[in-house]
Structure 1
Amino acid sequence: MTAFSLNPEQTARCAELRTLAAERLRPLAEKGEPGHVNRPLVAALGELGLLDALFEERFEGGGAGASPPGGASGALDLCLTRESLAYACTEAETAFALQGLGAHPVHAHGSPEQRERWLPPVRAGHAVAAFALSEPGAGSDAAALSLAAEPDASGGWRLTGEKCWISNAPEADFYSVFARTSPGAGARGVTAFLVPADRAGLTGTPLDMLSPHPIGALAFDGVRVGTEDVLGEVDRGFRVAMTTLNRFRPSVGAFAVGMAQSALDATLAHTAERTAFGGTLKDLQSVGHQVAEMATRTEAARLMVYAAAAAYDSEGPQGPGIARRAAMAKLIATETAQYVVDAAVQLHGARALRRGHLLEHLYREVRAPRIYEGASEVQRTIIAKELYAAHEEEPPA
């Protein structure tokens, strides 16, 4: 199998997930309250065994970060899951992905005690996780974060400052928090901490956002954390953040591809049936060309997402070119989804703008992925930096 051709088992699994999302998860999503964690939906993801895939990795190569084979699904299957869920129920996809993003630092860098305490309830859908990196003055520039971790007399730290734009906040049960332990050290002075939501001094406020999933701000007023709360190593938290993002960026692209495919299929159905100017919309060359462009861009984005995920599975998180591939996949897929959904709205006309229409929903959902987990401009910066670094390492001809 290559990254560009799915085997029959994967194809069947995608179809199964679409059906599962439409029949079992969408009814739960429709009962949820926008802007709040839908705990019955998260619990259903756990009961159906879908959350297990978030914590199973297999690297075929023997590079840094390689883990033993056996029973693992890998980054490609994570992308297939996110794409399939997004096609039928974006709320289920987002709840699924946020569990992984928030808990991956614990899975990959946590102590045995941290993993034993938190991962089983996350996998079961009984505990909600959140990834707390962004701040009011440090979103895409993650190395500039200012949440202060100041040493205290007990040998631990006190966290003081704010986090903002945090998905699942303030309703999560724990947060993977990134704070500055060494002032003035940039990326080298950041430490990752596991902070339970009930820790004294931690408060949160929901934010009323365009996206329907929960997003909030967190305030840390001398929140105590100890050495037992560190994820990974002191002053090495930036690596924890970046390896987590490299793991999930291709699958953000998969989320976008799922939305684009859903919009494309809705457009095919609408333009094949809608009568206008003495025929159907599909008979108009301008419409046919538009649909062809939508389909071509969606397929191109899908292939780049699959290739990035396959490279991650082959080389591991520290493999050559992984950051560049992840950035490319997220960039092309999220920008493509924005284009496809917007074009679909245009071809549907005013009906697509009515509250409750599939495309009205996708139009609100599709905008945020171009910003979170690194805005499109940041992805271009990463790509350029990686390209020039590789160019400088090449021997002269």
Structure 2
Amino acid sequence: MTKRLCATPGCGKEAQLRCPTCIKLGKSAEEAATYFCDQECFRGYWKMHKEEHNSPAAPKVSAEDADKLRSELLRKYQWENFQYTGDLRVGKVSASRSVPAHIKRPDYARNGTSKLEENARRSAKLTQLSQAEIGRMRTVCRLAREVLDIGARMIRPGVTTDQIDAVVHDACIERNAYPSPLNYYHFPKSLCTSVNEVICHGIPDSRPLENGDIVNLDITLYFDGMHGDLNETYLVGDKASEESKLLVKSAYDALHAAIDHVKPGVLYREFGGVIEKMAQANGHNVVRTYCGHGINELFHCAPNVPHYKKNKAVGMCKPGHTFTIEPMLTLGTWRDVTWPDRWTAATADGKWSAQFEHTLLVTESGVDILTARLPDSPKHWWEEGYEPQL
């Protein structure tokens, strides 16, 4: 007897109960999508399953197409029933943008999975780069900074994050670089744009930025076999609240307080205490779900760099290490909720979050900020020469 599994996504139990409507419509008994493990599972999935019913005269669909349909229906159901934590709502996400064939790609660009990263996780080895490799890291990080600044100059009320994605994507291509987020574990865009209560990994979409918003642009480029990663949070327009302005400055200060402690011999677990102390002094909390990471030929690798005190990070800074520190600070709880797109992380209470990130190199005597700001980088609200873009 053929073993069939329940059609309810995520169930996985053996199933023998058939949908009576599928039987009436003449669906073949070989179609596993018509089977359920019990009445409770059937009733729970009914609202979605009934949309799969074809008319008796409709052509049968392949098993692959049926799986795609069920996935689409599941996503629709999840969004319709999702409880947002704040005022932000998902917009329309346009198709992923293409990359010319001549541009060198990371290993995940085609199928969305990095086998190199997965293999590296088994050893958790900390890589010390050679001088030649450090030179390549300096180049890609400089390019990443240029692209971030281009994206930042786009920020103003009425501009959509999808429009920023288009400009950033083109800027990467102009530099013969691959936008690292694109198809990284199936992320659909070329940068992350995290607005207001979104902590990180926001997907660019059709929502126009509003005067008074804050938005984080997270940029990573892949060039000459290396990744360079950085992000900054910006005010949109001239109506930002004092509360949100201070949150953005606090995230910036927390990052740089940690950078000031980077030198050979320092344990990676120590940076979290520095960051949390700074954040709490300003009345803010630190997100614990996401952390800084090693970066080189791999987008993410050892070490992990948590941003809170009393963490259990492994490893010690040594010359030639390249890694990121990227604290995410919140006005309220540090806990997060993931949207049904499986990427967007928002605060659990809907209060706003800000983040800054640099890629760093441990030197013989201290640290180099490889993604350091340039003389013409857009100014932040606390810097001389800042003017809001309207």
TM-score by length of 2: 0.24
Q: Which has the higher helix share?
A: 1
